[in-house]
Amino acid sequence: MAYKTVVEDNIDILVCGAGLGGTGAAWEARYWGQDKKIIIAEKANIDRSGAVAQGLYAINCYMGTRFGENNPEDHVRYARIDLMGMVREDLLFDMARHVDSAVHQFEEWGLPLMRNPKTGAYQREGRWQIMIHGESYKPIVAEAAKKSADKIFNRVCVTHLLMDETNPNRVAGAVGFNVRTGDYHVFKSKAVIVAAGGASNIYKPRSVGEGAGRVWYAPWSSGSAYGLLIGAGAKMTQMENRIVLARFKDGYGPVGAYFLHLKTYTQNCLGEEYESKWWPGLQEMVGKEYLDPQASHATHRPIPTCLRNHALISEVNAGRGPIHMVTMEAFQDPHLEEIGWHNFLGMTVGQAVLWAATDVDPKYENPELTTSEPYVMGSHATGCGAWCSGPEDISPPEYYWGYNRMTTVEGLFGAGDAVGGTPHAFSSGSFTEGRLAAKAACKYIDDGKAEGIRISQQQLDDRKKEIYKPLEHYKIYRNEITAGTVNPHYINPRQGLDRLQKLMDEYAGGAGVSYMTNEKLLNIGLKKLKLLEEDLDKLGAEDIHELMRAWELKHRHLTSEAVVQHTLFRKETRWPGYYYRGDALKLDDENWHVLTVSRRDPKTGEYTMEKAPCYHLVGEKEQAEAAEA
């Protein structure tokens, strides 16, 4: 293959993927490492990359301690309740105590945060959300990253992490290729912060054909956060905790501002409230501790997102769909109507296009809602990701191994979707995690932990060969057939993605089976994933663009395997409404009030699973409740 090899040597901090997490990491790293060499490798262009590429209309994680609104522990309790207890509370507390300082800097940099004219505080959408004019949120934080980074490699798709030959559990950099020139890129680095994205498109989407791009999470979120880390042998946690979103049908437009700020609400096709009738049955599944509608009503304790999904799914399955969002009342107020539209234009333009195309005016018609296909990610209302160390002053021994946000691989850090057990970080929390990882990575280097790293030429040559194999394979076998895409020697990345989505949907609880699975189905799924893995070795890529799709697919495949392994391991239904284990339909605190941790042996591909203790923040509130019980 005639592609050049471009080596970037002597890097201190390499940031892989610069969405909100990666821009935060690159920005902050410069403060703690003023003389350090900081490099960003990004698959797209950092001005518009990651999940925030098209903008946001709200920052969903802001404490407001400045205005006396919330303390960090309040947010931890919220995330704990929403995720049915399964969160890393040390990491969450740490993120929450720093997140406001990120938001205050965003305002200083020019991000328009709305103010409440009466109080002067930021305009709240809900208890945790503040409203912004965030069309340029990403370009603004990208400016910050540009100020700090020595060099930014846009359009470099990172495929693998490099490992140290003297200590196989220590990171040594990363490799990838440029999706324009095709050049092979080698980054030799003392520390690596993986801030790549979670995974859309591993479950069959509800849309078909051209519309397959209309997924809730960005189609370019290829699970590289997990593919890179799993491939390097890092331990992962809570990978079973995929998320299903209740959203406006087809366009997947956000509902947060509609529920919280516009005060719209849902009803079934008969115009009836439907949620409460499902609570008693659901309470039997999860226990009163997790679902107590009376207490929720009295104390404003939120009902977990997954349980509200469960009510929606059950009502539709009972034949009383579609579920409608009642907008016709709120939209009579022209100010609220405008907010409703701006909300889409700011972050999901496609929903506005869809309503314009179908003449849905929410002022005169209540739009339909649906539940999405599942997504695997770690920064929205779910916490898939790597098993990372917490901060020194908070974490118990099981959660602490020296450096904040460091994975179980030395020198390898995570931020945003890459870090497990930290749901509800959203954009600002991901940026904050990037900052925390950057400080810790600088300390790791300053402590001399990255001395004597050695990368053999063999490792670089092997990876190069592996990376370009789909192009080679295509070239060898293409002319055996006359034309077209049907070839007995290879499949193309789209064909592989279709197969992955179909099997994940059918065997691992996708939308097509109402999110239901069981041990038998999961085992069949694992078998099919293994067969797919063999075929992924025979992917054919026609050009460099397809080569990128090939590697995205490989990352999605690694992610999917972890999802199935974790789902198989946790023998209970912890999050009804996200997925159901038909053979263990109840929540089981006696055996499963634990975090699941996995490791895939990079040499053999074998998985080992373990349980890790779940620690909770205990303050006066918890003590009082424990005393009552």
Partner 1 sequence: MPTFVYMTRCDGCGHCVDICPSDIMHIDKVTRRAYNIEPNMCWECYSCVKACPHQAIDVRGYADFAPLGHSVRVRRDEEKGVIAWRIKFRNGKKDMDLLAPITTKPWGKHIPQLKDVSGPSKEMRDSQLLFNEPKYIRLDDGDIHTLESNGLKLKEGVYY
Q: Which of residues 271-290 bind partner 1 (CB under 8 A)?
A: 289-290
Query: Which CB atom, from 249 or from 473, has the smaller least distance to partner 1?
Result: 249
CA 329 distance to own-chain centroid: 34
Q: Is 523 in the site for partner 1 (CB under 8 A)?
A: no
- For residue 227, the minimal CB distance to partner 1 (Å) is 17
Q: Segment 440-469, which members bind partner 1 (CB under 8 A)?
A: 443, 446
Say which amino acid occupies 473. Answer: H
Round to whole Å and give the CA distance between 132 and 137. 9
From the list 2, 108, 120, 299, which residue makes contact with partner 1 (rule: CB under 8 A)? 108
Q: Segment 537-566, which members bind partner 1 (CB under 8 A)?
A: 545, 548
Instruction: State the virtual CA torsion across 387, 388, 390, 392 in degrees, nearest 10.
Output: 120
Which residues does 204 contact at the CB level (< 8 Å), separation at least 6?
373, 501, 502, 504, 505, 510, 511, 512
Beta strand 594-600 pairing with 607-613? antiparallel
From the list 6, 121, 260, 349, which residue makes contact with partner 1 (rule: CB under 8 A)? 349
- For residue 330, the minimal CB distance to partner 1 (Å) is 17
Task: Evaluate whether 157 touches 187 at the Cβ level (below 8 Å).
Answer: no
Query: Which CB atom, from 290 or from 580, has the smaller least distance to partner 1?
Result: 290
CA 144 distance to own-chain centroid: 23
* Helix, coil or strand: residue 564: helix
- For residue 219, the minimal CB distance to partner 1 (Å) is 5
From the list 127, 320, 593, 611, which residue makes contact with partner 1 (rule: CB under 8 A)? 593
Round to whole Å and give the CA distance between 139 and 246. 29
Query: Which CB atom, from 423 or from 509, has the smaller least distance to partner 1?
Result: 423
Q: Is 613 in the site for partner 1 (CB under 8 A)?
A: yes
* Helix, coil or strand: residue 223: coil
Q: Segment 128-167, which members bind partner 1 (CB under 8 A)?
A: 133, 135-136, 140, 143-144, 146-148, 155
Task: Evaluate whether 550 touches 471 at the Cβ level (below 8 Å).
Answer: no
Task: Evaluate whether 312 touches 369 at the Cβ level (below 8 Å).
Answer: yes
- Let me know the angle formed at the C-alpha of 136 by 359 and 421, rounded to the nearest 5 degrees: 95
**Short-list 286, 313, 43, 25, CA closest to 149:** 25
Q: Is 31 in the site for partner 1 (CB under 8 A)?
A: yes
- For residue 208, the minimal CB distance to partner 1 (Å) is 5
**Short-list 447, 371, 370, 458, CA closest to 402:** 447
Round to whole Å and give the CA distance between 580 and 509. 7
Helices (H), 398-511: 426-446, 457-478, 493-507
- For residue 439, the minimal CB distance to partner 1 (Å) is 6
- For residue 198, the minimal CB distance to partner 1 (Å) is 14
- For residue 327, the minimal CB distance to partner 1 (Å) is 14
Query: Which CB atom, from 132 or from 175, has the smaller least distance to partner 1?
Result: 132
- For residue 317, the minimal CB distance to partner 1 (Å) is 22
Which of the stretches 63-71, 183-191, 308-316, 507-515 binds partner 1 when contact is defined by CB under 8 A? 63-71
Read off the tokens for 605: 């591909």
- For residue 480, the minimal CB distance to partner 1 (Å) is 25
The half-sphere exposure of 340 on its side-chain side, counting CA atoms within 13 A, is 26
Q: Is 587 in the site for partner 1 (CB under 8 A)?
A: no
Q: Is 257 in the site for partner 1 (CB under 8 A)?
A: no
From the list 3, 6, 104, 167, which residue makes contact with partner 1 (rule: CB under 8 A)? 104
Query: Which CB atom, from 19 or from 374, has the smaller least distance to partner 1?
Result: 19
- For residue 77, the minimal CB distance to partner 1 (Å) is 9
* CA-based end-to-end distance of the chain: 68
- For residue 505, the minimal CB distance to partner 1 (Å) is 17
From the list 231, 350, 512, 582, which residue makes contact with partner 1 (rule: CB under 8 A)? 350
Round to whole Å and give the CA distance between 535 and 553. 12
Task: Evaluate whether 305 touches 312 at the Cβ level (below 8 Å).
Answer: no
From the list 361, 535, 588, 610, which residue makes contact with partner 1 (rule: CB under 8 A)? 361
Q: What is the DSSP string of 315-361?
A: HIIIIIPPEEEE-TTGGGSHHHHHHHHHHHHHH-HHHHHHHHHTT--
Q: Segment 181-220, which members bind partner 1 (CB under 8 A)?
A: 207-215, 218-220
From the list 6, 48, 123, 169, which residue makes contact with partner 1 (rule: CB under 8 A)? 48
Round to whole Å and give the CA distance between 316 and 310. 10
- For residue 374, the minimal CB distance to partner 1 (Å) is 18
Query: Which CB atom, from 102 or from 526, has the smaller least distance to partner 1?
Result: 102
Query: Which CB atom, from 526 or from 539, has the smaller least distance to partner 1?
Result: 539
Q: Is 615 in the site for partner 1 (CB under 8 A)?
A: yes
Query: Which CB atom, from 112 or from 512, has the smaller least distance to partner 1?
Result: 112
Phi and psi for 362 in degrees, rounded to 5?
A: -65, -10
Phi and psi for 401 in degrees, rounded to 5?
A: -140, 45
From the list 82, 89, 164, 373, which residue makes contact with partner 1 (rule: CB under 8 A)? 89
Which of the stretches 343-351, 483-491, 566-574, 575-583 binds partner 1 when contact is defined by CB under 8 A? 343-351
From the list 2, 483, 486, 626, which residue makes contact with partner 1 (rule: CB under 8 A)? 626
Query: Which CB atom, from 107 or from 472, has the smaller least distance to partner 1?
Result: 107
Q: Segment 378-437, which members bind partner 1 (CB under 8 A)?
A: 391-396, 435-436
Q: What is the DSSP string of 233-293?
A: T--EE-TT--B--EEETTT----HHHHHTS--EEE-TTS---SGGGHHHHHHHH-TTT--H
